[in-house]
Amino acid sequence: NAGVTQTPKFQVLKTGQSMTLQCAQDMNHNSMYWYRQDPGMGLRLIYYSASEGTTDKGEVPNGYNVSRLNKREFSLRLESAAPSQTSVYFCATVPKGQFLSYEQYFGPGTRLTVT
């Protein structure tokens, strides 16, 4: 069991370039989430997907798009990267049936720098 995997681990982009961050899980979890982590700000929710086929905006969705490709995969796309999107991006999942306990399982993160 790999758990939650994220690719790439590191990425440097120039302003205006686009890229897709990939997240995959092999735990058969229903809900998936994308966060960004910035110093002194904790984690902020970008988008989430409650189940396959649905996506919703979180706290900071501007400049991002997401796709829930299937139950396993949830991708985050930056169409035109900006320096303000320099951050560490985390994917997280929640199993079906854990509604009350709501523990999230996190991937190792993607460190993105936009110059």
Partner 1 sequence: AQSVTQLGSHVSVSEGALVLLRCNYSSSVPPYLFWYVQYPNQGLQLLLKYTSAATLVKGINGFEAEFKKSETSFHLTKPSAHMSDAAEYFCAVSDYKSSGSARQLTFGSGTQLTVLP
| Residues 6 or more apart whose Cβ sits within 8 Å of residue 74 | 23, 32, 34, 49, 66, 67, 68, 91
Looking at the Cβ atoms of 58 and 63, the one nearer to partner 1 is 58
Please give the residues from 82 up to 101 whose contact with partner 1 meets the rule CB under 8 A.
90, 92, 94, 99-101
Q: What is the per-residue binding string for partner 1 in 32-51, x denoting contact by CB under 8 A?
A: -x------xxxxxx--xxxx
Structure tokens at 105: 């399982």
Closest separation in Å from C-beta 43 to partner 1 = 4
Closest separation in Å from C-beta 111 to partner 1 = 9
Q: What are the DSSP E strand ranges found in 8-109?
A: 10-13, 19-25, 31-37, 43-49, 56-57, 64-68, 74-78, 87-94, 105-106
Q: Which residues bind partner 1 (CB under 8 A)?
A: 4, 31, 33, 40-45, 48-51, 54, 56, 58, 90, 92, 94, 99-104, 106-109
